[in-house]
Structure formats: C-alpha cells, structure tokens
Chains A and B, each alone.
Chain A
Amino acid sequence: MAKRNLYIVRNEGTSPVCITTKDTGYCIEGGQSIPLSMEELIYLNGTTPVFRNGLLFFDREEEEAIYDELKIHNWKDILHNSDIENLILHPTYDGLRKIIGIESISYFERIRGVHVGLINAGVDINNKVSAVIAERQKEFRNQKIKSAIVLSKTEPVEAPSAAEVAAMSEQIARLQAMVENLSKASSAPQKKAEPSVASVPAAKKETDDAVAKKPAAKKTATKKPSAPKAKN
C-alpha cells in the first residue's frame, strides 16, 4: 500500500456530505476534501455506501490502490459528475441502462441533481433522457428498487462506404443505359398510342382546376367559363 498514512477524500459535488467515522463526524462541503486514514476509510466503506455511490472520491493517482484495498472492484463504473453530464448530454443505450440500473436513492439523486443543473443552465436535453429520469424517480417514490423501465435498442444505420457508393453509381449508370436502349427500340409502336396518353393528364388537370376554382385555370380553353366564377 502507499507510504503515506492519510488519503485525500474529495466531495466532487456541490452539496455537503456528512460522514461519521468511529470517533468523530465530518461534514464535507461541496468541492472540499479532507484527509482520512485507511482505518477510517475501511470503517466508512463497511458501514456506508458513500464510496460506492460516488458521493466521495479519491485522488486520481491513488484511487486504484485505495479501491483495491476497500475491495470495490467495479470502481471504474462509479459515475463522476462529469460522466453523468456526459451520459445525459450524449445519451446511449448503455448509458441509459446505467442510469436505470441505479438502486440507491442517494446515488440516483446525484443523477437528478446534474440533470436539473443542466436544465437550469439552459442546456438542450434529449426528451427521452428526461423521461427516463422522471420515470425512475417515480419508481423510487413507490419503493420500486428494481426498475421496470424497458429500453429498446435502435441499431444505427451505417452510412455506405465510398467503395459501395461507387459500385452503386456504376450500377445505376448501367441501368440507365439499358433503359435508354430499350426505349429507343420500342419508340416506333409507342408513337401510335401517344395522343390518348397525353389526353388523360390534360383531362385530369381540368377536373383538378374545376375543384380548386383557381384563376390559374384560365390556361385551358375549356376552363374559361368557370374562371370568372372563381373571381366572384
């Protein structure tokens, strides 16, 4: 273990955290830190979830050794305030699962605190994240420790690579050439049917115009009587 006897314990939040060791109690104000001995840390970790909930953290250089000594093996999963901010601002499936998976009220209140702080700062937050946090809070209020919130995973659509785009555009070019060839080959018999094909859209246009009764309908000769009507 480290050579020093005392280890810095830091309150990264802005609310006070009150701890009681074997002999005395401390109230660590927001952003402040106090030195504690390893015995005190072991006692605190044994009687409270204060380190596991991320209410208090250690110095970055010595945290690994201390967490090891306290037998908190998943210490990398404990969310710092900056992590929480990141989870809220850049939500992912796994990130939201982490928020939903929290089973301690004091831990969850940290998430809610950061969330409210961001809203008060005027940051644009994804509605779904806010909904998940509100819903989870409702569950805590109803003493539901294990969450029943179900998230559905959406697979992101991957953008095609440059090679795929090139292959596709080549394919389209080939198809275009093929269609042109086909239309050239079949142009002679199509000519006969042309007048009837053209008359259909024209007739349709007339009925459309009659319904709309717009002055623009003047264009067609048949529409002339109805045009002044529209003006009236």
Chain B
Amino acid sequence: MTYTEIAELAGSINVYELACKTIDKAEFSEDEATAVASLDDWAREIGRTGLDKNHEIAAFITRALNDEIYNAPDELLDLMFERGTIGEDDDGEGYSSPKNTLIAYEAAHGGNVDRSFIDVSVFTPKVRNRQIETDLSFKELRTSGWKSVAILTEYAIAQLKNQMFVDVLNAIDQIITNGAENYIAEATAVPTATSMDKLALYLLDRAQAGQGVIIARSAYIQAASKLAGFASNNMKDAVNRQGFLGEYDGCLMKPVSAAIKLGNGSIVMPDDRLFGIAGKIGTLDMKGEVHVYESEDINNEKIHLKIADFTYSYAFNSTTAENMAKIVTA
C-alpha cells in the first residue's frame, strides 16, 4: 500500500464514519470494505516495522477530527449557541442584543423629556484549550490493525467533545446563582410539576414555542415525562415506547445519558440540575485547527501521539444569562 493510495482513500470516504462503523461492527458498503482491508494492511505493516514514514496515523486522526468537530452538527450545543470558527491567531468579541430600556415619558406638546438610553454590552470570550496525549503500541497495531487506530480516533473525538460540553455547562451552572429569578429550588430529589411548570414558563416567556430547551440527566427527564395529571394517550404511548417525552409545555426536553463519562470517571451531566435555555444564549467558536503530532518510540515499541490545539471560545454574559434558568433539586 503506497502513501498516495492511503491519501486517496482518506479523501474519498468519511474516515470518522468508517471508524465508528468499525467499532460498532456495522455493515460496510463495498467501497468501505476495500478501504478497511487496505487500511488494515497499512496499520499492521506499521506494527511490524515500527515505521510510519509519513506520519499517516496522525494525518488520519487529524482528518477525522476536523471532519467531525468542525463540520458535523452537534445537536445540543447548536441549540444553545451561535456556532462558528475563528482562526488560530484571531480574536473574537461578543455583542448581546441590548435590553430595551427606552422610556416613553408623558410630555407636553412641543416640550422635551429626559433622554433614556440603551446599553450595548461587549463581552470577551473565554478561551479553553484541551489536549490529549496517548500511546499506541506496535503490538496493538499488529494484533488489531486498523481497528486500533479507529478506536483511538473515535475515543479521542468523543472525549474532546464531551469535555467541551462539560466546560460549557459548568460555565452556565456557574453564572446562575441562588437569589436570581432564574434559579428554581426544587425541594424533592426529582423535578415536580410545580418546578417544571415554573421552568417552562420562564423559557416560554423568553423564547418562541419550540425554541426553549430543557437539558438534564435522563433520570430527571424521565421523571418529568411521567408527571401525572394531564397525560394524553399519545403521551402515554410515547413514554411507554421511548421512556421520555420530547417536549414539556412546548419546550424541547433533551436527556443526557448518565452513562456517558469522561476519561477520569466523572459524569458529563452534573447531578441535581436541570438547565433551561431559551433560544441562543451566546457564541461558541472553534479556534484554529486540531494538530496531531506523532513520533515512533522504537525502544518502548510504541507510537506517541499528541492531539493538540483543540481550542474553543465561548461567550455569554449576565444579559444573555437571563435566557437561561436552572432547577436545583435537593
């Protein structure tokens, strides 16, 4: 297998999809099957010789990452943020649509009244940079071939995306504090009709129907789906089939699995919280491109991989924070 052939392959197929299909043992199309066969030979050859001459593995992961992270839609984050990309050396600045604070005074004809103003606030984004370093042993490459590269690619992408989600949610969690109107304290351990109504009303007041989103752990969405009272037969059917309802009072409900964990074992979705987002609350930009570096370590019989420059910046401030709410359960 020559270098040009691998490059051609990577150009003609979605490498991330191929990696996912390999891990899930899904059926390949004819093209994909030939691609996997050649990729398998290629990976095993690296395992045998310990030489990845053109740093193909790194190039492969880079391509998969850039395909998936910068081009693929990400349902939850797309609902919450204006997504975009900025260059590695560029800087961004966020603007919120200002509150309408103009006052219409009662006036005598021909007279003057006090001026009133609107305040356009600028907010600087918070930039985070995440990085993964790992090893891929020659033995692993010889044994599993292409699959070892596929697993590494898919896992790295999943962790980077999850970490970004965690960072953003933590920032949202941080900005809503007790004492504000958008902090709803729920006395019990799961959401009740009272608190869900309160949250839904808060979101409906600030967003069009269908634009409000409630995001929480699946356990809380399940509890909210099964609230007794006004369930129609359709709703009962939906809960029985899927376990969750898709909407609550016109607000989308998005469950996040409690089984999704970060590499260190912590759970992606924080406990005791339900977040409500009314429309877009700010911007989330990917900054620059991911770079993957690689070096063969012959003495330790492995390839060292460094997945660097996964940089993103998010921006929202107290004005846009009014479009978010959270329920905190006891």
A-to-B contact residues, CB < 8 Å: 13-20, 25-27, 30, 44, 47-50, 53, 55, 104-106, 109-110, 112-114, 116-117, 141-143
- Please give, as numbers and ranges, the residues of chain B lying within 8 Å of A30 by CB-CB distance: 179, 181
Q: How far is the CA of A105 from the CA of B330 in the complex (A)?
A: 7
Known: A16-B185, A48-B187, A142-B266. A112 touches B177 (CB 8 A): yes
Give a binary string over B176-188; 1 marks a CB under 8 Å from any A CB, 0 the rest.
0111110111111
Q: Are B178 and A112 in contact (CB under 8 A)?
A: yes
Apart from A14-B179, A18-B187, A44-B187, what 14 extra A-B contacts exist at CB < 8 Å? A13-B185, A15-B178, A16-B184, A20-B194, A25-B192, A27-B198, A48-B187, A48-B188, A49-B330, A55-B187, A105-B328, A106-B272, A109-B177, A113-B180
Number of interface residues, chain B, beta carbon within 8 A: 29
Known: A14-B179, A14-B180. A106 touches B185 (CB 8 A): yes
Closest 8 CB pairs of A and B: A113-B178, A25-B194, A18-B195, A113-B179, A48-B187, A50-B187, A15-B183, A18-B194
- Please give, as numbers and ranges, the residues of chain A lying within 8 Å of B170 by CB-CB distance: 141
Q: Are B179 and A106 in contact (CB under 8 A)?
A: no
The residue in chain A whose Cβ has the minimal distance to the Cβ of B327 is A18
Q: How far is the CA of A142 from the CA of B170 in the complex (A)?
A: 11
Q: How far is the CA of A105 from the CA of B184 in the complex (A)?
A: 13
The residue in chain A whose Cβ has the minimal distance to the Cβ of B175 is A116
Q: How far is the CA of A104 from the CA of B270 in the complex (A)?
A: 14
Residue of B178, B179, B181, B272 with most partner-chain A CB within 10 A: B178
Q: How far is the CA of A115 from the CA of B266 in the complex (A)?
A: 27
Interface of B is mostly: mixed
Partner of B178 from the list A18, A25, A110 (CB cut-off 8 Å) is A110
Q: Are A105 and B272 in contact (CB under 8 A)?
A: yes
Q: How far is the CA of A106 from the CA of B178 in the complex (A)?
A: 9
Q: How far is the CA of A105 from the CA of B178 in the complex (A)?
A: 11
Give a binary string over B191-228; 1 marks a CB under 8 Å from any A CB, 0 the rest.
01111011000000000000000000000000000000
Q: How far is the CA of A30 from the CA of B185 in the complex (A)?
A: 11
Known: A50-B330, A109-B177, A109-B178. A15 touches B188 (CB 8 A): no
- Please give, as numbers and ranges, the residues of chain A lying within 8 Å of B189 by CB-CB distance: 48
Q: How far is the CA of A53 from the CA of B185 in the complex (A)?
A: 11
B-to-A contact residues, CB < 8 Å: 170, 173, 177-181, 183-189, 192-195, 197-198, 266-267, 270-272, 327-330
Q: How far is the CA of A48 from the CA of B266 in the complex (A)?
A: 26
Q: Are B328 and A113 in contact (CB under 8 A)?
A: no
The residue in chain B whose Cβ has the minimal distance to the Cβ of A17 is B185
Q: Are A113 and B198 in contact (CB under 8 A)?
A: no
The residue in chain B whose Cβ has the minimal distance to the Cβ of A50 is B187
- Please give, as numbers and ranges, the residues of chain B lying within 8 Å of A48 by CB-CB distance: 187-189, 330
Q: Are A13 and B187 in contact (CB under 8 A)?
A: no
Q: Are B178 and A13 in contact (CB under 8 A)?
A: yes
How far, in Å, is A89 (CB) from chain B's closest CB?
A: 16
Q: How far is the CA of A20 from the CA of B330 in the complex (A)?
A: 13
The residue in chain A whose Cβ has the minimal distance to the Cβ of B273 is A105
Partner of A20 from the list B179, B192, B267 (CB cut-off 8 Å) is B192
Partner of B185 from the list A55, A112, A117 (CB cut-off 8 Å) is A55
The residue in chain A whose Cβ has the minimal distance to the Cβ of B329 is A106
- Please give, as numbers and ranges, the residues of chain B lying within 8 Å of A50 by CB-CB distance: 187, 330
Q: How far is the CA of A48 from the CA of B185 in the complex (A)?
A: 12
Q: Are B194 and A27 in contact (CB under 8 A)?
A: yes
Q: Are B270 and A141 in contact (CB under 8 A)?
A: yes
The residue in chain A whose Cβ has the minimal distance to the Cβ of B186 is A18
Residue of B179, B195, B267 with most partner-chain A CB within 10 A: B179
